[in-house]
Amino acid sequence: MAAMALPTLLPWARAAAGLQPGDALPDLKAMDLEGDIPDVAGKVVHLDFWASWCVPCRQSFPVLEQLHKTHGPKGYVLIGVSMDEKAADMQKFLRKNPVSFAIVRDAKERLASRVRPPGMPTSCFFGPDGRLDSVHPKYEGEATRKKYLEIIERLLPKPKA
């Protein structure tokens, strides 16, 4: 009897776990996000879920900004997804931690409910094919920067010789 129930439980368990490697990038324009969503078609997409109250998020912003400036021209798109309940909290954070990459606010948590980030910050990397490559919770300084750089360089199309 339990074996018969298992197939019906698996889709629920998978949804509860959030996106898995190989899953498609959700349609960001359908997620009711506040802010401008850049064109992501055929690009390496990095969604970084953060909140104004998160100390590691604050520490990660200079690194994220540098990754954006260095790799943006090569086909890398970084979108910071604020999980702040109040827009004013997000704006205050951004005044103290200005960045040039795209920032959106997921006030209705529609995107977060699909991705299910396990904490703040959490970074999700999607390849140019629009499929999830990997999810990385936490920010641990230089080790995390190196990991992000390795992922971005692996996913970006190689220059033609």
d(C-alpha 17, C-alpha 113), whole Å: 10
Percent of the chain clearing pLDDT 70 (strictly above): 89
CA distances from 69 to 43, 54, 134, 148 (A): 15, 23, 22, 14
Does 38 score more than 80 pLDDT? yes
- Residue pLDDT, tens place only, 56-82: 999 999 999 999 999 999 999 999 999
Q: pLDDT per residue over 75-108, tens digit each?
A: 999 999 999 999 999 999 999 999 999 999 999 9
Rounded Cα distance between 37 and 27, Å, is 11
- Residue 16 — pLDDT band, cuts 50, 70, 90? low
